[in-house]
Amino acid sequence: MHENKTELHPLSQETIEGVQAATADPIDAMRLAADLYASNAYAAERALALETGRQLPEPPKLISHYLRAAALDIHARFQVMGALLNTDDLRRLEALGPIVEQRLATDEQLGEVVMTLLAMKPEDAVLWIRAHLGDLEARLSS
């Protein structure tokens, strides 16, 4: 499995177009492309470490303004949602955390749900989580 991850490939035309569409700043688009390469190297190194039992690598430090802002926003959104949820909700989500983290790598539907929640106002996302937490637990435990 890691053989594919450790091969060096050029960014696809689709990815380059995505990078250019994501930021109007051509210099930051270059930094964003560099972040993508660094993240691919990290993913390959992490996969190898998991396979061989070696120490997990540290994630790369992002250099593009675009992804640094996105990482800060993701952090802020999780923090705000955490502050709005009650202790019981948080305990249940903490139990789901490792499963969600793993499944996000392959489960497209779950990825869509998480991305949609992060695009909502945190207050609305929390309402959605409260209404669907039982469904999520049932789905992720199977």
Binding site residues, another protein, CB under 8 A: 9-12, 14-15, 17-19, 21-22, 32, 35-36, 39-40, 43, 59, 67, 69-80, 82-83, 90, 94, 97-98, 100-101, 104-105, 111, 114-115, 118-122
Of 25 and 94, nearer to another protein (C-beta) is: 94
Which tokens is 76 given?
């802020």
Work out the number of other CB atoms within 10 angstroms of the CB of residue 126: 20
> Smallest gap, in angstroms, from Cβ of residue 45 to another protein?
13
- Cβ atoms 129, 93 nearer than 8 A: yes
Find the angle CA(118)-CA(123)-CA(127) to the nearest 5 degrees. 90
Of 36 and 133, nearer to another protein (C-beta) is: 36
> Smallest gap, in angstroms, from Cβ of residue 2 to another protein?
14
- Cβ atoms 58, 101 nearer than 8 A: no
